[in-house]
Chain A
Amino acid sequence: MASPTKRAFKKVLIANRGEIAVRVIRACRDLGLATVAIYSTADRNALHVQMADEAVCVGPPEGHASYRNIPNIISAAEISQAEAIHPGYGFLSENAHFAEICHAAGITFIGPSPETISLMGDKARAKALMREAGVPVVPGSIGTIATEAEGLDVAAEIGYPLIIKASGGGGGRGMRIVTAPDEFSNAFQTAQTEALQAFGNKEVYIERFFVNPRHIEIQVLGDADGTIHTLGERDCSIQRRHQKLLEEAPSPFITVALRSAMSQAAVAASKAADYVNAGTVEFLVDPEERFFFIEMNTRIQVEHPVSESIFRYDLVKAQLLVALGEPIAPPPPKPEGHAIECRINAEDPWTFTPSPGTISRLILPGGPGIRVDTAAYQGAVIPPHYDSLVAKVISTGKNRDEAIARMLRALGEMKVDGIKTTIPFHLEVLKDEVFRSGRYSTSFVEHFMERREEHSDKHSDKSKDPGPEA
């Protein structure tokens, strides 16, 4: 390792808030790097502000005026003399323009190059590149579809059901599922209109739609000399409306051979994109164990701790070392044990309605195999302006059963008063037979909620709100 005096940077500004800002501050501290927090006026007493060596207020509560305010964030780096910026996830983490401005201002952006971010942010271009690199992609149109007639021809080749997606989009907007040719015309026009309204670009593309796929991603880490390391997969199939709720690694579904094939594809994908630093290649896996590239996330993921736990590897520290141009230790070739992450959100556990407020009492779990990543403390405010993640509880065990048992123990210990949280939801999922079997797909949550309602109807004479033991 280079001596501290010769380091490429010594002070890092964290352009984020909440648990990920805390996570990055910890990694900086482990490496002897000074830290600068930024915050909005709603986050004056937030934990990341208290923990960082320095803190700069960058704007009012609204995210676009503070945590996405590029001029104020660059100015904050300049006045605090921070030489590098870690973007965390969300906010500006996948904004190629921001990465470019950092470079122009002589600030190291901790992540891949602006060109890579921009390429992977354009879903149609990314897919075309992957196809060239020999990475299996979801069967679909080559590039965007301009007219309905062209779309119908392509649809006939791909087969039904299919999905029409906005090229510039994400988050479910500009997406339409089509199950038969006679629905195509209407869906195509609606998708174009939605794409134009939401993203200012009416370009759409078409893909095969999978009914019960698994959502599995491969963690990659590209070092400065072009080597791409992989840290296995994470199964992120437990999601609701494209929001992940629980992740686990290894996937209970994946064989050693499939893991190896998917890891090789992820390396090919990363090399094609000249990928440097931590990233994630997302795949859909069908019940016949065929896998297809969906997209690459050019940032650290919320669920990175499950990979860290089974590989005993600090990914955020590795991100900093790669940006410093210092050597990283290669991750171990094989994972050990099993890890699960439950995202504890400030939401009603059954309606998922946000529940901002002040945490009046907080008891965090601990003990063997439990890690908690959070910015919460007793008295902390969960503001209504940002995402609802309060804490990530990560359990690790020698196998899946032990990881589940430890998570049940941890969530049983955990107490959060003053706001509603999704802890009751997770406790029920962890006891659910389908979840326990490991045979679940992205439609798990929908089916789980249906089963729960049926159960509740049967028992309605006994109790209005059947608890986990009901």
Chain B
Amino acid sequence: MTNEDIKEILGLVREHNLLSFEFERDGTRIKIARSPLAPGSFRIAQEGELPSSSDSGLSLPSPSAPAIRSDKIRIITSPIVGTFYRSSSPDASPYVEVGSPVAKGQILCIIEAMKLMNEIESEVEGTVRAFLVENGQPVEYGAPLLEIDLKAEESA
């Protein structure tokens, strides 16, 4: 299953306003759940709704993507608002690449905010599966940054 497939599924889940969704194919299982407790976390049927602001202007990775808590993948989200960088300086090499093994507490990337470099550490052990934002891109609170394939024992 590719990232594009997952994105498509997320789109459908959002479109149909589902609270949870499970999918299994070729031994890969994905479970998507959205919290019904957070009042803003699902879209309500609206009449005469104005065009969404996210359609124009700043194109930020939106935190409205449902959090994936699949058995095998963890999405790392931004704890603050700022600018996403994959390395500590333009000359330095990236902290991690797709395929890099990561340990708990290892630095994955930085978010620059108010001229401070905030190091984002991995909360899990595994392998970098994909980056979800480009180097130098602004991110808002909760924006998905990268995906980690969880190490076998964590994915139990």
Contacts and interface: CB of A to CB of B under 8 A. Distances in A.
Nearest to A378: B47
Interface in A30-58: 34, 36-37, 40-47, 49-58
B20 interface: no
Contacts of B57: 34, 53-54, 80
Nearest to B63: A57
Interface string B64-88: 1000000000000000111100000
Contact of A79 (B51, B58, B62): B58
A377 B83 contact: no
Interface string A151-195: 000000000000000000000000000000000000000000000
B53 interface: yes
B50 A71 contact: no
Contacts of A377: 46, 48
B58 A78 contact: no
A59 interface: yes
A101 to B, nearest CB: 8
B40 A71 contact: no
Nearest to A40: B40
A261 interface: no
Interface residues of A, number: 44
A298 B141 CA distance: 30
A51 B82 CA distance: 23
A76 interface: yes
A111 B53 CA distance: 26
B82 A75 contact: yes
Interface string A377-408: 11111011000000000000000000000000
Nearest to B139: A79
Given A56-B81, A71-B114, A72-B81, A41 B40 contact: yes
Contacts of A34: 57
B92 interface: no
Given A42-B38, A58-B140, A51 B81 contact: no
B58 A381 contact: no
Contacts of A383: 39-40
Contact of B50 (A51, A57, A380): A51
A443 interface: no
Contacts of A216: none
A349 interface: no
B47 A56 contact: no
Contacts of A384: 39
Contacts of A73: 81
A363 to B, nearest CB: 12
A41 B44 contact: no
- Max chain A Cβ within 10 angstroms of own Cβ: one of B50, B57, B141: B141
A50 B52 contact: yes
Contact of B53 (A41, A49, A379): A49
- Pick the 5 closest A-B CB pairs, nearest first: A79-B138, A54-B57, A44-B40, A75-B113, A57-B140
Interface of B: 38-41, 43-54, 56-58, 60, 62-64, 80-83, 113-114, 138-143
